[in-house]
Amino acid sequence: IGPADEEVMDKRRCACEDVMQKDEVMNPELQPQQFNLGPKWRKTALTWKITKFTRQLNQDKTRREIARALRHWSDVTPLTFREVAGESDITISFEVRTHGDGASNSFDGRGKVLAHAFFPSNGDVHFDDEENWGFGDEVGNTKTDFFTVAVHEFGHTMGLFHSDVQGALMYPYYSGYNASFRLHDDDVKGMQSLYGPPTGRPLTTPYPMTTSRPTTPAPRPRITPAPTPRPTPRPEIPEFCNVQIQAAVRDFDGTLFVFTQGNYVMRITETGFLDRIRTNNLFRRAPWSMDAAYSIPSLGRTYFMRGQRLWEFDRMRNPMGTILVQGGPRTMPERPRAVIATSASGNDVEVFGSGILWRMKMNGEVIVGSHRYISSQYSGVPSMIDAAVRWDSRTVYFFKGNRYYRYDTSRRTVIGEGDFGPAFLKGECGDAPR
């Protein structure tokens, strides 16, 4: 490392690691674009709110600067942003030192690390409250411009990783206040690779096209309409057959637990749907909502995951406490969507995000260098899955919407797929093999 490298390393920067740029973490050949793209939001109308202000900055001006920062991204994409008082997609707060993201993701006081953010669909953005924050031309050489850092962090929240282009906003190091700030071309192209251009405007200006109009209109041919076939009436399908799966796990007796919104769990056996009960009637002190569920048969443990927290239950479904996942945004680039044990007898697990997976130990420690694209490791499995269940030593079921995908771990590919209702619930939902 030379003096120039040391000078860069001493600069103030974003805490989100460059996880997609390191050979030991990701294979660059697997990247679908030239840009460092992460997951994306599944909607374009997003909401935001501030849950904790800093005493250093005027609150109204802080809100205006956040709105202005978000507007730079909405100007180049179809995304829209609206401040709300209730539940929001993006949650913004000023924090100090260890603040619930794990010890390895603690802020370091003034200097160096300025802020960090989670990728979709988590949406948390944290600013280090021990930094000396300011607005615009008042920052001088002693303060950090809040607006500049905010635009950068919101880039992560929309799905951009760090850029290696110096001069780009998404370059990991803080460049200082710029009175004539505008997004770098690399930033715009990266974000438009995720969401496209603003509605009604092309990504790039096309060449003008000229269409010649005939001087005499051609006569319209006479067409005899074909008789309209009468549609065959479809049988009524009960509403509960269209399950919106939040998480799923297979119990130690073979029963499949499918968790749905409203704190409900469906119990499903080999013969089909058994019943639907409140989650807390089965797992006392389980979280009201969850991102994923999984079991470790060798230990007789069942786990629920929400964000960076795990809820642990023994074989008899008694609560055993919670575990905080270590690392935060440094090691979890996406919000978890599904978790499975790495093998039928193993204790490590694989955590699936929107398009990336990574491995985690039983103590909640994410294994460094384990991040991979799902598509490169699980052929035929779609992105943005809703749940996954390890069925046996060779079979993993993935669920997305009302579809299931049967994955063979020996052949390393999907060997079957179909509708969830007929294959698992059966009865009034139909009857199909899986």
Per-residue confidence (pLDDT) for residue 330, from 0 to 100: 64
Which residue's structure tokens are 């390890």?
Answer: 390
Q: Identify which has the larger pLDDT, 292 or 244.
A: 292
Whether the pLDDT of residue 101 is over 60: the answer is yes
- Residues 3-195: name the CATH superfamily: Collagenase (Catalytic Domain) (3.40.390.10)
Per-residue confidence (pLDDT) for residue 166, from 0 to 100: 87
Strand partners, 350: 340, 359
Whether the pLDDT of residue 205 is over 50: the answer is no
| Whole-Å CA distances, 126 to 80, 156, 340, 405 | 21, 12, 29, 37
Whether the pLDDT of residue 395 is over 80: the answer is yes
Of 54-68, 225-239, 409-423, give the lowest mean pLDDT range: 225-239
Whether the pLDDT of residue 226 is over 80: the answer is no
The answer to whether 428 is annotated as binding is no
d(CA 382, CA 385) in angstroms, rounded, equals 6
The answer to whether 275 is annotated as binding is no
Q: What's the average model confidence in pLDDT over 373-394? A: 92
d(CA 73, CA 88) in angstroms, rounded, equals 18
Percent of the chain scoring above 70 in pLDDT? 79
Per-residue confidence (pLDDT) for residue 112, from 0 to 100: 78
Which member of 95, 130, 153, 350 is catalytic? Answer: 153
The answer to whether 7 is annotated as binding is no
Whether the pLDDT of residue 410 is over 50: the answer is yes
254 pLDDT band, cuts 50/70/90, is very high
Would you kindly state where each structural domain of the chain is located, as residue ranges? 3-195, 242-429
Whether the pLDDT of residue 220 is over 50: the answer is no
The answer to whether 72 is annotated as binding is no
The answer to whether 129 is annotated as binding is yes
Backbone angles phi, psi at 57, to 5 degrees: -120, 145
391 pLDDT band, cuts 50/70/90, is very high
Q: Which two tokens stand for residue 48?
A: 């935001």
Strand partners, 113: 13
30 pLDDT band, cuts 50/70/90, is very low
Give per-residue pLDDT as tens, 320-332: 999 988 765 567 7
Give per-residue pLDDT as tens, 129-169: 999 999 998 888 889 999 999 999 999 999 888 887 889 99
Of 189-203, 272-286, 331-345, give the lowest mean pLDDT range: 189-203
Per-residue confidence (pLDDT) for residue 231, from 0 to 100: 52
Q: What's the average model confidence in pLDDT over 266-284? A: 91
Per-residue confidence (pLDDT) for residue 14, from 0 to 100: 67
Predicted TM-score (pTM) of the model is: 0.51
Percent of the chain scoring above 90 in pLDDT? 50
The answer to whether 184 is annotated as binding is no
What residue spans of 233-301 are helical by DSSP H? 279-282
d(CA 393, CA 417) in angstroms, rounded, equals 19
Helix (H, G, I), strand (E, B) or coil at 96: coil
Assess whether 417 carries a catalytic annotation: no
Per-residue confidence (pLDDT) for residue 8, from 0 to 100: 40
Per-residue confidence (pLDDT) for residue 19, from 0 to 100: 37
Give the E-state strand segments of 164-271 in sequence order: 245-250, 256-260, 264-269
Of 89-93, 261-265, 355-359, give the lowest mean pLDDT range: 261-265
424 pLDDT band, cuts 50/70/90, is very high
Per-residue confidence (pLDDT) for residue 137, from 0 to 100: 86
Per-residue confidence (pLDDT) for residue 217, from 0 to 100: 41
| Whole-Å CA distances, 311 to 277, 286, 331 | 19, 7, 19
Q: What's the average model confidence in pLDDT over 224-228? A: 49
Decide yes or no: CATH 2.110.10.10 for domain 242-429.
yes
The answer to whether 248 is annotated as binding is no
207 pLDDT band, cuts 50/70/90, is very low
The answer to whether 89 is annotated as binding is yes
Give per-residue pLDDT as tens, 346-372: 679 999 998 899 999 988 888 888 888
Backbone angles phi, psi at 81, to 5 degrees: -135, 135
Q: What's the average model confidence in pLDDT over 31-43? A: 59
The answer to whether 286 is annotated as binding is no
Q: What's the average model confidence in pLDDT over 218-244? A: 55
Q: What's the average model confidence in pLDDT over 328-353? A: 83
Q: What's the whole-number average pLDDT of the chain?
A: 82
